[in-house]
Amino acid sequence: MRNFKKHVWKAIPMILVLVMMMSMTAFAAEEAEYVPSMYATFWSLVPPLVAIALALITKEVYSSLFVGILVGALFYSGFSFEGTVMHIFNGGFIAVLTDNYNMGILIFLVILGAMVCLMNRAGGSAAFGAWASKHIKTRVGAQLATIALGVLIFIDDYFNCLTVGSVMRPVTDKHNVSRAKLSYLIDATAAPICIIAPISSWAAAVSSYVEDGKGLEVFIKAIPYNFYAILTIVMMIVLVVMKKDYGPMKKHELNALAGDIYTTEDRPYENANSEQINPKGKVMDLVIPIVSLIVCCVIGMLYTGGFFSGEDFVTAFSNCDASVGLALGSFFGLIITIILYLVRKVMTFSDCMGCIPDGFKAMVPAILILTFAWSLKAMTDSLGAKAFVEASVESFAGGLMGFLPAIIFVIGCVIAFATGTSWGTFGILIPIVIAVFGETSPELTIIGISACMAGAVCGDHCSPISDTTIMASAGGQCNHVNHVSTQLPYAITVAVVSFVTYIVAGFTKSAWISLPVGAVLLIATLFVLTRKSNE
């Protein structure tokens, strides 16, 4: 009897452990199947809308984004304190910072920040500025050169934003171009250029959403119908050549002409380049690092797509992992830059190593905003924003086929604006467009996919929580809210004209007709707006 009791007492802890494991398994299964009451409803779009509204009202980005994250977590948990806190961290900050793609982008940003710091301290940026000053004599020339450089760097929007900013900032500063205008030019030649460039990380992303291996072919056919991207480029050139501005941008430009390129009191980057200029620096100390960075990033993206394992160039680019490719490319670009400066004896090894933490520090504001923006997107995803948008789009697919491209464009704008991501919007809308049009209308399928891409870029362009918008602020070293508030009227102008152009395209099914109509309408609109602004 005594032995039996001993065995029973020994068995009790094991039974308790088994019961706890079973309860934990049941709880995990229950949590995996958990669906919030506000899932796939309009409430799924409220958190980013709250964050955006607060950012524009308070002019403060970090707290506004956090409030949006908090609202999303409250909705997800059913206003449970414990559930809200756990979702903010487990479903938000920790989840996005442990994501492989996001971490690759952060590594790329840190290395790029280090390279920008190296180029500045080596005197490459100053040497290029001095060279450009001899050849660029006017404000118009400085702005057109910024646009041209942005068009040339079409590989990736992140790379575009920071590289164009670091290279052209000394030139535009000399000609009293406001930081807000510089940031707009950078932003308007980042995503809009990448989305119409067949060889870019964006083309690879869009192509991956089209089945049967015809993604790149569809992407190329959709380029003439990408009205927002094309008309944005037209608008930049027209405004620069006309020497006209309107809305908040006009105030910034007038202040810049008077010598104040910042306008507002918040000047986070005012003393960013206060160190002494290296007299040994030459133009090659800027050109070689940038060229090596472009080449290495392309090779890195091709490597991740299997180009060196036998895949052809197009397939490799379509299947590449942009995050890993950019991280690899920037790393080897950094190594080449350091070797160049050591061989030329422009900098010592200790000075080169000192630029790495300094470059990291320069990227901290952008990294913080990106982390908050990614976490806000995670909140939106957990509330089923994709399902809500999908249902909304399908409800319009009745007898409105001619108007559907314009409707898709608007919905793409809304979801990209609310979530701050273009690529996520592609993933939501492109499969829906293919399912809606199917084989019944190949022309409308192409126009619809282009409307998805244009709407996603437009919403991303307008959104203060977009990673590209954040990078443009960092590249132009402009207060983020200043950049958003001055860019918004310009982006909305192009968006309205693009909406009308998509209506024309939906009925004519011809880019040769709709695109010239959109360009003429945009130029006429700009003449009216600038004239009203002058009055």
**Chain segment 398-444, per-residue pLDDT in tens:** 556 678 889 889 988 887 887 777 776 776 677 677 766 655 677 88
CA-wise closest residue to 44 among 458, 472, 418: 418
Domain membership of residue 13 (yes or no) is no
Whether 462 and 488 have beta carbons less than 8 Å apart is answered as: yes
Q: What is the pLDDT of residues 293-348, one digit of tens each?
A: 888 988 988 898 888 888 877 777 767 777 788 789 889 999 999 999 999 989 99
Contact indicator for 316, 305 with CB cutoff of 8 Å: yes
Pair (350, 386) in one structural domain: no
- Give the integer Cα–Cα distance in Å for 242 and 215: 39
Q: What is the C-alpha to C-alpha distance for residues 283 and 332, in angstroms, rounded to an integer? A: 21
Do 423 and 519 lie in a common domain?
Answer: yes
Residues 6+ apart with CB under 8 A from 4: none
Q: Confirm whether 83 is domain-assigned.
A: no
Q: Within 199-283, where are the H helices?
A: 201-207, 215-222, 227-242, 248-257
Q: Nearest to residue 527, comparing CAs of 242, 240, 144?
A: 242
Q: Do both 288 and 422 map to the same domain?
A: no
Asked if residue 425 and residue 340 are part of one domain, the reply reads no
Q: Is 66 part of any domain?
A: no
Instruction: Examine the fold and report which residue of 333, 366, 399 is the final residue of a domain before the chain moves on.
Output: 366
Q: Do 334 and 420 fall within a single domain?
A: no
Q: Are residues 477 and 406 in the same domain?
A: yes
Please give the distance of CA 394 from its chain centroid, rounded to a whole number: 27
Q: Are residues 342 and 440 in the same domain?
A: no
User: Measuring CA to CA, which residue among 303, 293, 294, 323 is closest to residue 107?
Assistant: 323
CA–CA gap between residue 433 and residue 425 (Å, rounded) = 12
Rg of the chain, C-alpha, whole Å = 25
Yes or no: say if 47 and 384 are a contact pair by the CB < 8 Å rule.
no
Tokens found for residue 119: 């180029």
Separation CA 327–CA 296 (nearest Å): 10
* Predicted local distance difference test score (pLDDT) of residue 216: 65
CA atoms within 13 A on the CB side of 112: 34
How far, in Å, CA of 389 to CA of 394, rounded? 9
Q: How many CB atoms lie under 10 A from the CB of residue 533? A: 13
Q: For residue 23, what pLDDT is reported?
A: 39
Asked if residue 473 and residue 358 are part of one domain, the reply reads no
Within-domain flag for 247? yes
Looking at the fold, whether 304 and 181 belong to one and the same domain comes out as yes
133 within domain boundaries: yes
For the chain, residues with pLDDT lower than 50 are: 1-2, 4-5, 7-9, 11-31, 274
The pLDDT of residue 470 is 85
pLDDT for 10: 52
What total number of domains does the chain contain? 2
Question: In terms of domains, do 360 and 386 share one?
Answer: no
* Other beta carbons within 10 Å of 151: 15
Is 118 within a domain?
yes
End-to-end CA, the chain: 104
Q: Give yes or no: residues 351 and 461 share one domain.
A: no
CB neighbour burial string for 315-348, b if at least 16 within 10 angstroms, e if fewer: bbbbbbbbbbbbbbbbebbbebbbebbeeeebbe
Report the alpha-carbon distance of residue 470 to residue 335 in Å, rounded.
27
Task: Among 309, 341, 366, identify where a domain stops.
Answer: 366
The C-alpha atoms of residue 430 and residue 324 are separated, in whole angstroms, by 24
Residues 356 and 287: their CA atoms lie apart, in Å, by 20
Distance CA 119, CA 462 (A): 31
To which residue do tokens 């005197």 refer? Answer: 123
Instruction: Name the pTM for this structure.
Output: 0.70
Co-location of 172 and 316 in the same domain: yes
- Which residue has 């080596």 as its token pair? 122
Judge whether 373 lies within some domain. no
**d(Cα 206, Cα 192) in Å, to the nearest integer?**
14
Q: In which residue are the tokens 């089923």 written?
A: 384
Return the residue matching tokens 């959104």.
463
Full domain range(s) for residue 400 = 380-534
| Nearest CA-CA partner of 523 in 505, 497, 487, 492 | 497
Question: Residue type for 334, please?
Answer: L
Q: Are 186 and 165 in contact (CB under 8 A)?
A: yes
Last residue of a domain, one of 366, 391, 412: 366
Whether residue 240 is contained in a domain is answered as yes
